[in-house]
């Protein structure tokens, strides 16, 4: 059974450590036999969530994101830490994707893009905790949307020193830890799919 995994960072910054970390996770997933979609949130035209704006029509790129999120049974999110939590970009994306489109044949159910997804969490930060606090805030948000969050998580501390000149993690403990999070996420996704087929 082949896994399909969606990987993205909660940042659009050109030199984002978490975008580099997402690339590492994508490489690890491919090495483990998964089909990978490496998503860039900056490629989507998504305004700040506003119910009045939404009442005039859900933006087309939000519908595209709903389709992409729903199509992937496993996700890996690389979350920066801003002021001890996840980014406004990540929250805004989740708020839009989880907002129902009344009367729509597919997206009237707010939870459809999220429910049952297996999510692995990573973070990177120049600080000593590696963005760990962002993951502690992101986990309950995803659980509330009925995602299954992999217990194994990894926060890359001192990210400004961790990557080499090509923007890659050298062989060693951090790269192994990223691979471990990806491995557990893919394993759980396969296990859930097998259980659904057997039921």
pLDDT tens-place string over residues 173-185: 999 999 999 999 9
pLDDT, mean over the chain: 96
3-state SS class at 139: helix
Q: How confident is the model at residue 73 (pLDDT cuts 50, 70, 90)?
A: very high
What are the pLDDT digits (tens) for 21-69?
999 999 999 999 999 999 999 999 999 999 999 999 999 999 999 999 9
Biggest distance spanned by C-alpha atoms of the chain: 51
What is the CA angle 108-113-119, rounded to 5? 160
Q: What's the topology of domain 4-198?
A: Rossmann fold (3.40.50)
Residue 16 has pLDDT above 60, yes or no: yes
pLDDT tens for each residue of 159-172 = 999 999 999 999 99
CA atoms within 13 A on the CB side of 35: 8
Tell me the C-alpha to C-alpha distance, in Å, between residue 125 and each of 25, 57, 81, 158, 161: 16, 37, 7, 6, 10
Q: Which helix (H) or strand (E) holds 9?
A: strand 4-9
- Please report, for the chain, the start and end positions of each structural domain, with discontinuous segments joined by +: 4-198
- pTM for the predicted model, two decimal places: 0.96
196: pLDDT confidence band, cut at 50, 70 and 90?
confident
Q: Is the pLDDT of residue 105 over 80?
A: yes
Q: Is the pLDDT of residue 2 over 80?
A: no
C-alpha–C-alpha distance, residues 192 and 194, integer Å: 5
As a whole-number percent, the residues of the chain with pLDDT over 90 amount to 96
């Amino acid at each position: 059974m082949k896994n399909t995994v969606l990987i993205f960072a909660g940042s659009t910054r050109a030199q984002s450590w978490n975008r580099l970390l997402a690339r590492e996770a994508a490489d690890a997933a491919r090495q483990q036999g998964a089909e990978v979609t490496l998503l860039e949130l900056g490629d989507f035209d998504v305004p700040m969530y506003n119910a009045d704006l939404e009442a005039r029509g859900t933006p087309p790129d939000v519908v595209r994101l709903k389709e992409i999120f729903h199509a992937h049974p496993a996700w890996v999110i690389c979350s920066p830490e801003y002021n001890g939590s996840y980014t406004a970009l990540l929250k805004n994306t989740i708020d839009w994707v989880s907002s129902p489109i009344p009367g729509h044949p597919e997206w009237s159910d707010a939870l459809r893009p999220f429910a049952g997804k297996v999510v692995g969490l990573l973070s990177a930060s120049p600080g000593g905790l590696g963005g760990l606090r962002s993951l502690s805030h992101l986990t309950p948000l995803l659980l509330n949307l009925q995602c299954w969050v992999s217990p194994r998580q990894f926060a890359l501390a001192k990210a400004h020193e961790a990557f080499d000149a090509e923007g890659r993690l050298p062989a060693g403990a951090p790269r192994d830890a990223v691979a471990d999070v990806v491995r557990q996420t893919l394993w759980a996704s396969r296990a859930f799919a097998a259980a659904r087929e057997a039921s």
